[in-house]
């Protein structure tokens, strides 16, 4: 195997910065920035994949060359699936259906609209993430979908205005990795494959695809220029957790990485994913992200979607003339079939796309319905992603109000509810001014069975209470009923695939809040936000008494927020990102990178900040945020005590002992080396859930990095213990020379508390 010890990354940037004068017109200029790693390693069926690979190899051994090629490239049959692989009838293989999205099945009916990735991140609940995956996966299975195109860990949220940050879980790799691993295991436990995406460093929508500009010039996709240490410690980390969890597929991304396209980048696919992480499944392209034929196959792409003009007979011809190895095609087909066997889809699975509306009779469509067992998980996942960030004088929960006035466009439901929701728009507005925001736009838009808008749930509440409502959805400066006990203002912050967000605020919504607050002494703001939303225009107004970041709860959005407003549920969400006081606090990571200078035809995005994004950057620059990562309030209070740190009796060599690579990499990386525990008391008057967070100060690294979290329910007046296990990877940094995770000799600082900046307990241990 020809390889390189590290990604060129910032070394290549030094070369780029030396260029001046005429625009670069040929991508040969960038040759060598992403090191070549060939050949693509064959999967060996380690661990739980063993039996599946034995079956897959036997199956592939009976295929013709043309049938093998057909397994690797999608077809369009108008079935309702996002993509399909053709059947091989003579061997009893029915084909495959793959479909969006990671928050509910898209473009169909009789399915639920689930909470989005950012909402899962805000819940900080590992068990709930798994349960959501299980129930959502069952709906995909009923519809005949073999592969769920999700979950999302890329983008991780490097750019504050990133258009697809809402599909991802968190700006923190540890947080994102654990919740995505739970999602993968939940989805695949019901026999549906997960395709974790988008691999890798896919952090902006601007220039995400090659295009022809207004001058008729061919413009390449943006290149994420990234160094090896940053790649491992930030962007690869959650993908490693997904691979360890057994994800059936990895979707490669649109962008270039160190000036090599993501779906034909041999370093990232062959080197990082298939060699270092021991990935046993198959790499599927994002739609139309394949830009080369043999080059993409040799670099590690296994399946092209939605079809491939580059492959087909070209692959068989290349094998015949010796320019392409037959063993590579066999490995591509074997990886695909191994997932089919691994998930038990050979034994029992609906026909591909059987429940999708374009290929189903009405009677069967009625049979395939939403599971009643999903209702509790659906609602709980909606509730737990809300984050209460302000609550002056216990304005919430509401206490038997006689008159509640409701304002804002986001309180009402949509006028129509087509099968495809919030699909690709011609632009990216700052807010959706016509209705409540339950999810956001693009291929992640889901298909709810209904939308329970906030006003719907508030009207039910008024009926039960015998109270009164007043409402005005459409005016920016509405008249406020002077007898109002509380004024609820609902606004939103929109985002969509294909575009990055125009801003982190919008003037109309800010003016609406200020106008209501000027005339109501108990103004409560609920924001349904597809990403970071700044609030400093009005957050310190004396009459703004409470604020909830509602994120994207899915179809039960109204019921969920009203349960919280009236105290039937206690807020337990925590922020999965940092809310700044002003947009300039995000520095160079506020806006996406644009085309400029001599790289006009080859846009560049230099990840020169390294691992210092979001809270790491705020800590490094000593910037005080409005609300820090991990922050959130409750209707009760919690006290921390009794920090205990104990070190395991393990091999404390600098590098992990060598071992055969398994799914996820060297298995010794998961050896537990240190255990931390603490006691938490609910010192308030109501039961509640606390999210205990552990941050680690690793020598020669950021001040603090999240390395543990546990969500625990505690009865009022009672206490519970929490326990965190730190493995070798958790306490290591990536050594670019040794190409290994390495101990840092010295003192490790331990912090346990309520958020990244509210840390009641501190301690340390030495290595």
419 neighbors 447 (Cβ within 8 angstroms): yes
Active site residue ranges: 286
Strand partners, 677: 644, 723
> Cα–Cα distance between 135 and 192 in angstroms, integer?
11
CA–CA separation, 528 and 438 (whole Å): 7
Locate all alpha helices (DSSP H) within 506-556, ordered by sequence.
Answer: 507-517
CB 704 within 8 A of CB 696: yes
Residue 568 contacts by C-beta under 8 Å, 6 or more apart in sequence?
none
| Element (DSSP H or E) covering residue 196 | strand 193-199
Q: What angle do CA 543, 545, 547 make, to 5 degrees?
A: 125
Peptide bond into 397 cis (omega under 30): yes
> Which residue do the tokens 């080369």 mark?
292
First-to-last CA distance in the chain? 35
User: Strand, coil or helix: what is 527?
Assistant: strand
What DSSP letter does each residue of 359-410 carry, written as one string? G--HHHHHHS---TTHHHHHHHHHHHT-EEEEEGGG--S--S-SEEEEESGG
Q: Which tokens hold the place of 315?
A: 């692959």
Neighbours of 658 (CB within 10 A): 9
Quote the distance between the C-alpha of residue 164 and its chain's center: 9
724 contacts: CB under 8 Å, gap ≥ 6:
675, 676, 677, 694, 707, 708, 710, 752
The vertex-172 CA angle with 168 and 178, nearest 5°, equals 75
Q: Which residue has the tokens 């008159």?
A: 403
Quick check: helix, strand or coil at residue 641?
Answer: strand
Q: Cβ(462)–Cβ(404) under 8 Å?
A: yes
Q: Is 128 helix (H, G, I), strand (E, B) or coil?
A: helix
Regarding beta strands 486-493 and 403-407, do their DSSP bridges make them parallel or antiparallel, or are they unpaired? parallel
Alpha-carbon Rg for the chain in angstroms: 26
User: CA dist 24 to 98, 506, 550, Å?
Assistant: 39, 38, 46
How far apart (Å, rounded) are the C-alpha atoms in residues 86 and 534? 48
- Residue 367 CB partners (closer than 8 Å, separation 6+): none
In contact, 554 and 104? CB cutoff 8 Å = yes
User: How many Cβ atoms are within 10 Å of 327's Cβ, its own excluded?
Assistant: 13
* Three-class SS state of 490: strand
* Cα 265 to Cα 36: distance, rounded to the nearest angstrom: 8
């Amino acid at each position: 195997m020809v390889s390189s010890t590290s990604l060129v990354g910032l070394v290549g940037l030094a070369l780029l910065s030396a260029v001046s004068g005429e625009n670069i017109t040929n991508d040969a200029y960038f040759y060598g920035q992403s090191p070549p790693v060939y050949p693509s390693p064959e999967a060996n069926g380690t661990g739980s994949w063993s039996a599946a690979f034995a079956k897959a190899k036997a199956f592939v051994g009976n295929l013709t060359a043309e049938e093998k090629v057909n397994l690797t490239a999608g077809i369009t049959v108008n079935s309702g699936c996002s993509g399909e692989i053709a059947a091989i009838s003579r061997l009893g293989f029915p084909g495959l259906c793959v479909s969006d999205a990671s928050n509910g099945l898209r473009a169909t009916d009789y399915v639920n609209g689930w909470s989005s990735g950012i909402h899962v991140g805000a819940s900080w609940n590992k068990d709930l993430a798994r349960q959501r995956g299980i129930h959502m996966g069952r709906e995909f299975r009923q519809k005949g979908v073999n592969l769920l195109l999700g979950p999302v860990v890329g983008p991780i949220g490097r750019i504050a205005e990133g258009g697809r940050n809402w599909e991802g879980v968190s700006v923190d790799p540890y947080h994102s990795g654990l919740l995505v691993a739970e999602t993968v295991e939940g989805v695949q436990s019901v026999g549906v494959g997960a395709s974790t995406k988008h691999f890798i460093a896919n952090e902006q929508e601007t220039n995400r695809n090659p295009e022809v500009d207004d001058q008729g010039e061919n413009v390449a996709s943006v290149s994420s220029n990234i160094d090896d240490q940053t790649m491992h410690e930030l962007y690869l980390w959650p993908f490693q957790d997904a691979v360890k969890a057994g994800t059936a597929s990895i979707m490669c991304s649109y962008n270039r990485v160190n000036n090599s396209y993501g779906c034909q980048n041999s370093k990232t696919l062959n080197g990082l994913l298939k060699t270092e992480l021991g990935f046993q499944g198959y790499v599927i392209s994002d739609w139309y992200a394949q830009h080369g034929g043999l080059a993409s196959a040799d670099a590690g792409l296994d399946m092209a979607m939605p079809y491939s003009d580059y492959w087909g007979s070209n692959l068989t011809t290349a094998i015949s003339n010796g320019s392409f190895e037959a063993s590579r095609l066999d490995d591509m087909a074997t990886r695909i079939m191994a997932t089919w066997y691994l998930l038990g889809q050979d034994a029992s699975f609906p026909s591909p796309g059987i429940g999708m509306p374009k290929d189903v009779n009405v009677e069967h469509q009625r049979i395939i319905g939403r599971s009643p067992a999903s209702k509790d998980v659906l609602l709980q996942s909606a509730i737990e992603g809300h984050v209460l960030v302000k609550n002056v004088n216990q304005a919430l929960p509401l206490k038997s109000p006689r008159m509640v006035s409701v304002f804002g466009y986001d309180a009402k439901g949509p006028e129509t509810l087509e099968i495809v929701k919030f699909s690709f728009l011609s632009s990216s507005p700052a807010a959706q001014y016509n209705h409540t925001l339950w999810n956001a736009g693009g291929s992640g838009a889901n298909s709810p069975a209904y939308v329970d808008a906030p006003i719907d749930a508030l009207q039910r509440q008024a009926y039960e209470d015998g109270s009164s409502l007043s409402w005005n959805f459409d005016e920016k400066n509405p008249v406020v009923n002077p007898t109002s006990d509380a004024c609820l203002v609902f606004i939103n912050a929109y985002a969509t695939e294909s575009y990055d967000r125009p801003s982190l605020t919008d003037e109309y919504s800010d003016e609406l809040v200020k106008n209501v607050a000027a005339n109501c002494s108990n103004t409560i703001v609920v924001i349904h936000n597809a990403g970071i939303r700044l609030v400093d225009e009005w957050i310190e107004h004396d009459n703004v008494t409470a604020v909830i970041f509602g994120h994207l709860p899915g179809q039960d959005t109204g019921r969920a927020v009203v349960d919280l407003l009236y105290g039937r549920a206690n807020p337990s969400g925590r922020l999965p990102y940092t809310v700044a006081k002003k947009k300039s606090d995000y520095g160079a990571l506020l806006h996406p990178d644009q085309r400029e200078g001599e790289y006009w035809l080859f846009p560049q995005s230099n990840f020169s900040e390294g691992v210092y994004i979001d809270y790491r950057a705020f800590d490094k620059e000593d910037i005080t945020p409005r609300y820090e990562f991990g922050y959130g309030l409750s209707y009760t209070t919690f006290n921390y005590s009794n920090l205990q740190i104990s070190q395991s009796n393990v091999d404390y060599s600098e590098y992990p002992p060598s071992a055969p690579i398994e799914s996820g990499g060297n298995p010794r990386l998961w050896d537990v080396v240190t255990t931390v525990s603490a006691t938490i008391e609910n010192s308030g008057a109501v039961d509640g859930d606390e999210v205990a967070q552990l941050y680690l100060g690793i020598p020669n690294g950021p001040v603090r990095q999240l390395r543990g979290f546990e969500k625990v329910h505690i009865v009022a007046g009672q206490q519970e213990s929490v326990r965190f296990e730190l493995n070798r990877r958790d306490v290591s940094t990536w050594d670019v020379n040794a190409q290994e995770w390495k101990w840092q000799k010295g003192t490790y600082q331990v912090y346990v508390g309520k958020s990244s900046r509210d840390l009641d307990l501190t301690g340390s241990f030495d290595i």
